Amino acid sequence: MKKQIVNVERRSDCGLSMALEALGDRWSLLILRDLMFTEKRSYSELQSSEEGIATNILASRLAALEGNQIIRKYSDITNGRRSLYYLTQKGIDLVPVVLELMHWMSVYNPQAAVCSKQMKAFRKDRVSTISNYMEQLKIQHLEDHE
Amino acid sequence: MKKQIVNVERRSDCGLSMALEALGDRWSLLILRDLMFTEKRSYSELQSSEEGIATNILASRLAALEGNQIIRKYSDITNGRRSLYYLTQKGIDLVPVVLELMHWMSVYNPQAAVCSKQMKAFRKDRVSTISNYMEQLKIQHLEDHE
DNA sequence: TACCTTTACTTGCAAATTGCAAGTGCAAAC
DNA sequence: GTTTGCACTTGCAATTTGCAAGTAAAGGTA
């Protein structure tokens, strides 16, 4: 473990560049997708996703996402050996990004059928689909942790 | 140069996963940002961006983006040694993704001030800011190539 | 109380990717 | 015909990724 969490040097002050320093890899947004649209919350559940993330990569990404305050880790009160990961508000605010990316690919590749449930609603009403998902996650977070 | 353009194995059929296979790195979206919001169109102009992309990385990303039909390369008719890169419609359709990412970071890091021009409009009216930028790029493309 | 299982990681190492510096090739300007 | 500008390519070291195996600690079971 080196300097994954605190990246000392910033490439520029462009928001996009800064965002990509936190999210610009092949795995981070997939982890967030699972926290947004599935019930997966534990390490092993997240590891079980279709794409098959390697365990060391998952660990390093979770640490980085937590370091960037995009997710937060809680220990499961009903099972001391389980940890549970939840999106923070900062993470919930990435819902539009994830939905826009999914939608983009669904337009240009018809095989992108997995998340079609979300896409059907999105195509019908972009704005309210986004805010519905965000609202739901917010409520869930409040229920689970306050 | 190996198998950058055609990635044989797909991790899953999730649209997000497929999108990240094309865009999930620290540079691709920055290149697209310049094509979206600046006048930069040539290799050397793109290389001159603040973040300092290495020349071999720029070349490999441009080839991959072109292979994925997100950008297209034209030779400059007024200068035979210049090439110019333009967004395709598929690339233009990524405007929402880029703007959402910029906006997200501008909310959570006040130093993300560089693209504040776009962000001011975005905060005022998200939907029409997105469609204005997309429309402008579409017009530009038609003017330049038809 | 000892042992097995589950859960969440860590470690070691090979392979792939990235990034820096220098070099190449060709069109155009001088 | 020599130099300059532009778009890359090449070589190599350093970093990151990905696979496989190992560890540690909580909880269940006999």
- A56 CA vs D19 C1’ separation (Å): 10
The Cα–Cα gap between A113 and B15 comes to 7
B108 at A interface, C-beta within 8 A: yes
Q: How many CA atoms lie within 13 A of A85 on its CB side?
A: 29
Q: Residues A29-58: what's their mean pLDDT?
A: 97
Q: Which nucleotide is nearest to B2 (CA to C1')?
A: C16
Helix (H) or strand (E) holding B10: none
Write down the pTM of the prediction.
Answer: 0.92
Q: Is A111 helix (H, G, I), strand (E, B) or coil?
A: coil
Q: Find how far residue A90's CA is from the centre of its chain.
A: 10
* Helices of type H across B9-108: 15-23, 28-37, 43-47, 55-67, 89-92, 95-108
Residue A3 banded pLDDT, cuts 50, 70, 90: very low
Distance (Å) from the C-alpha of residue B81 to the closest C-alpha of chain A? 30
Write down the residue that tokens 């919350």 correspond to: A41
Structure tokens, A98 = 């994830």
Q: What is the pLDDT of residues B73-117, one digit of tens each?
A: 999 999 989 999 999 999 999 999 999 999 999 999 988 866 678
Contact between chains at A23 and B93 (C-beta distance less than 8 A): no
Q: Give the one of A11, A13, A30 whose C-beta lies nearest to B112's C-beta.
A: A13
Query: Which nucleotides along chain C are within 7 A of a protein C-beta?
Result: 6-12, 17-23, 25-29
Cβ distance A134 to A95 under 8 Å? yes
Residue type, A19: A
Give the span between the Cα atoms of A12 and A77, in whole angstroms: 42
Q: How confident is the model at residue A52 (pLDDT cuts 50, 70, 90)?
A: very high
